Structure 1
Amino acid sequence: MIELGTVIVRKNLNVTLLLTVCLFFPSGAAVNLTLVTPEKAIKLAANDFFRHHLSNTGKGLTVFKEMLAGCAAGMCQVVITTPMEMLKIQLQDAGRLAAQQQKTVVMTSTKLVATNAVLSRSYNSGIVVSAPRAVSATQIAKELVQTQGVKGLYRGLGATLMRDVPFSIVYFPLFANLNNLGKPSPEESSPFYWAFLSGCIAGSTAAVAVNPCDVVKTRLQSLNKGCNEETYNGVVDCISKIMRKEGPSAFLKGAGCRALVIAPLFGIAQVMYFVGVGEYILDNSPLRMLSA
């Protein structure tokens, strides 16, 4: 048995190193780093653009108009968000399924060797447990386009809209009102740290509010299913199956983690906007021509 343990450790060293690296560099991180900047730029710039047009009277926006501007901004951002989420989920699923497959093979080999000495000698001489095959976002994108066309990258578009539009409807009015509380006077802007805190609070609140939609979106965009994992045919089918088999609490899975991620993300984004990024984009882009 000592010899068996040594063989298993030796033959799975690469797998262990690969999984260790994944802990520090999670699957899908590169996709987020590449696409999250244009996604947030579109969201924030679009919101400013629609707020500008809705406030043509020179007065402050009503809550309804703030929600309307947020709704339009959420609809604009899905051009980037949907393929970004699609590729990220496929990368995460590839790593998860590879780890499950590796664990199954190792457990099966261990049982066989432990029950038969002949199989033990065969294991030492021939059976090799292969490491998970590395995949990249580029490779997944090419396969999706080749097999399903461009629409493959936009699988789950409806569910993404169902998440991002309500998120923006909640986030932007809440941020605007929280940020106004930090203004020393109506003519002055709030300090940058107040914009950061307002972005964190509004982002985490909106993230928790739309978490059920995020759960549905993630399930629909997961193409590679493991053993005994459910398949879904659209939003309604997904919601009904989750409710029937897992209960209402399943729609809140990951809400805490999502809030912790979204809070600093939008806090930082609003600080960057605080230094004038939004005004620069609107003043130096074709959007200015549309508002003339």
Structure 2
Amino acid sequence: MLVFVSTCACFGIALLILNKEILYTDALKFKMPPQKDPNKFFMSISEGEKKPFDFFRVLYDGCIAGGVAGVVVETALYPIDTIKTRLQVARDGGKIILKGLYSGLSGNLAGVLSASAIFIGVYEPTKQQLLKSLPENLSAVAHLAAGAIGGAASSLVRVPTEVVKQRMQTGQFRSAPAAVRLIVANEGFKGLYAGYGSFLLRDLPFDAIQFCIYEQLRIGYKLAAKRDLKDPENAMLGAFAGAITGAVTTPLDVVKTRLMVQGSQNHYKGICDCVSIIVKEEGTHALFKGIGPRVLWIGVGGSIFFGVLEKTKQILAQRHSKTEAQK
């Protein structure tokens, strides 16, 4: 626990130093050198590039890039997520089964594709509109708000997807269609949204914090390097943002998992009751079950997701530029 507190403290100090540096460069009226490649619209966050805002293009590109990044990450890291889920569900030192680590992947990819597309499709235009409306020194607020709004929009798809996935990971069902059919039959349609409150409690702060950390680090890095970031650098910053956010939000993830997989047993009556029972029966440390796989999964996942996301945006921007040049 002390390690994570120290890590978060160091991160907070780093952010303060970064913020001070950005304000100092603003005071000196520092300006980024002209972009050699005008196609890098999406690679700029809020450094002051003024380009026409095309809402539908940003929405379209965000959906494509988000969907691609989400599917790549889910496919690559699904086994780690399965282990994490089984660790969180296990009680009293129960044995963790390492078979069927890809259980539920095929059915889950459809939901992940839709949810990731919705999230980035909402996040990108929201972020850019907020960056236009707010002062430059409040860019972090724009990133936090856009992340939360994107998370709320995608939760309508993400929650049913997560419920089905985690129940398949714990061996309750063998296929996604069967899982959906039986959940609705036994628990009603609301069964697909089991743990919705805990999901929002976990994912809205997670999405807001992770994207804010990533975006702010990119701004500071670009100002320091005085150039656009390379693919490995985007991946590195994504990994750091994901690992820190994943560690801090692990207790919320444990509560969300327990509520989602309990089914009709109703062992827990809600978020507060779930926390109370876990602490009483298993101790406070149980709230950090699966933190190792979670930090690894989200850290590596952040690296892959943001790396693929930025690369896909860049490719789409270049294609748009070529199309416009041919007109």
Question: What range describes the TM-score normalised by the shorter chain of this pair?
Answer: 0.5 to 0.7
Mapped partners of 2:213, 2:187: distance in 1: 39
**Residue 275 to residue 58, structure 1, CA distance change in 2 (3 Å):** farther
**Residue 202 to residue 33, structure 1, CA distance change in 2 (3 Å):** same
Mapped partners of 2:237, 2:121: distance in 1: 18
Match of 2:154 among 70, 77, 82: 77
Match of 2:176 among 129, 137, 145: 137
Q: Does 1:156 align with 2:195?
A: yes
1:122 maps to none
Mapped partners of 1:151, 1:246: distance in 2: 29
Q: Does 1:40 align with 2:40?
A: no
Superposed displacement of residue 72, structure 1: 1.2
Structure 1 runs (4+) greater than 6 angstroms displaced = 184-187
2:302 maps to 266
Superposed displacement of residue 276, structure 1: 4.3
- CA offsets 1:44-75 (integer angstroms, 9 cap, x no match): 33221211121124853432232122211221
1:257 maps to 293
Superposed displacement of residue 247, structure 1: 1.6
Mapped partners of 1:185, 1:241: distance in 2: 48
SS at match of 1:218: helix
1:195 maps to 234
Superposed displacement of residue 279, structure 1: 9.4
1:86 maps to 163
Which letter maps to 2:106? A
Match of 2:248 among 194, 204, 209: 209
1:55 maps to 131
Superposed displacement of residue 224, structure 1: 5.2
Mapped partners of 1:224, 1:147: distance in 2: 9
**Residue 186 to residue 52, structure 1, CA distance change in 2 (3 Å):** farther
Q: Which runs of 5+ in 1 are unaligned?
A: 1-20, 96-133, 285-292
Which letter maps to 1:269? F
Which letter maps to 2:154? Q
Which letter maps to 2:114? P
Q: Does 1:240 align with 2:268?
A: no
Which letter maps to 1:237? D
Deviates more, 1:251-260 or 1:177-186: 177-186
Identity %: 27
Give the TM-score normalised by structure 1: 0.67
**Residue 35 to residue 278, structure 1, CA distance change in 2 (3 Å):** farther
2:142 maps to 65
Which letter maps to 1:39? A
8 Å Cα contact 1:211/1:252 also seen in 2: yes
Mapped partners of 1:142, 1:259: distance in 2: 33
- CA offsets 1:265-289 (integer angstroms, 9 cap, x no match): 22222122212438959x99xxxxx
Superposed displacement of residue 235, structure 1: 0.9
8 Å Cα contact 1:74/1:168 also seen in 2: yes
**Residue 144 to residue 230, structure 1, CA distance change in 2 (3 Å):** closer
Matched residues, number: 222
8 Å Cα contact 2:134/2:142 also seen in 1: no
Mapped partners of 2:297, 2:126: distance in 1: 27
8 Å Cα contact 2:210/2:241 also seen in 1: yes
Q: Which runs of 5+ in 2 are unaligned?
A: 1-96, 321-327
User: RMSD over aligned Cα, in angstroms?
Assistant: 3.0
Superposed displacement of residue 186, structure 1: 8.4
Deviates more, 1:43-52 or 1:213-222: 43-52
8 Å Cα contact 2:166/2:261 also seen in 1: yes
Superposed displacement of residue 187, structure 1: 7.5
Greater RCO, CA 8 A, separation 6+: 2
2:8 maps to none
Mapped partners of 2:146, 2:315: distance in 1: 17
Match of 1:182 among 207, 218, 221: 221
Superposed displacement of residue 195, structure 1: 0.7
- CA offsets 1:248-271 (integer angstroms, 9 cap, x no match): 111111011011111222222212
2:313 maps to 277
1:116 maps to none
SS at match of 1:62: helix
Superposed displacement of residue 29, structure 1: 2.9
- CA offsets 1:13-38 (integer angstroms, 9 cap, x no match): xxxxxxxx963643233344333233
8 Å Cα contact 2:103/2:174 also seen in 1: no
